Chain A
Amino acid sequence: SQQGEEDPQALSIQEGENATMNCSYKTSINNLQWYRQNSGRGLVHLILIRSNEREKHSGRLRVTLDTSKKSSSLLITASRAADTASYFCATAGSGNTPLVFGKGTRLSVIA
């Protein structure tokens, strides 16, 4: 069962611009995580935001969480060509359950 739904499916921007990706989910969560996947590789964890947090920063990444709207956004500022990858959100429920991943947003940053 896929809970997270990323939007847009694909995004193409110029180097230096900001990239914003959104994630919506359906049920209550304990936390929400964002992952990055370079082409043909495994996923790498980027950031985790707990359900009682509204915003979190890590370097050029900014994540927001709105539990009332059941949505999150990932902002990458001053994007670089090396940011080209697919980005996934994953939700963690309150019980002993695995993370549930969305289908991802494919980001292309053009130099």
Chain B
Amino acid sequence: DVKVTQSSRYLVKRTGEKVFLECVQDMDHENMFWYRQDPGLGLRLIYFSYDVKMKEKGDIPEGYSVSREKKERFSLILESASTNQTSMYLCASSLRWGAEAFFGQGTRLTVV
């Protein structure tokens, strides 16, 4: 069974902290994605990666960075967490462009 695993379901961090959200997929997928989901705004793409060490900005990259050192792992980094980054974060992967996306269970991050 295919799987995308996010390191935490719930996370509480303080303003100014550096936060790492980890995502691992076991399907040998080329593409990986980070979205954030807020009420009334749907899913918004933060960053994506189509190969190891390759990354592209999505629609809302400000305040975030990513790392993909290995094919199976895609990390989202909040350099200095702020309260407006309180949100649900969703990681996804796909075998190729336009194919079905597989999502992790989500990380609900609260920044206080």
Which residues of chain A have a CB within 8 Å of any CB of chain B?
1-2, 30-31, 33, 35, 40-45, 48, 88, 90, 92-93, 95-104
Contacts and interface: CB of A to CB of B under 8 A. Distances in A.
Interface of B: 4, 31, 33, 35, 40-45, 48, 50, 58-59, 88, 90, 92, 94, 97-106, 108
Contacts of B41: 103
A52 B104 CA distance: 30
Most buried by A among B42, B98, B99, B104: B98
Contact of B108 (A40, A45, A97): A40
A103 B98 contact: no
A41 B98 contact: no
A1 B50 CA distance: 19
A97 B84 CA distance: 27
Given A1-B59, A40-B106, A101 B42 contact: yes
B40 A33 contact: no
A42 B89 CA distance: 9
Contacts of B104: 42
A98 B101 CA distance: 10
B103 A42 contact: yes
B105 to A, nearest CB: 5
A42 B58 contact: no
B98 A42 contact: no
13 contacts: A42-B105, A43-B90, A43-B92, A43-B103, A90-B101, A95-B97, A98-B97, A99-B94, A100-B45, A101-B35, A101-B42, A103-B40, A104-B42
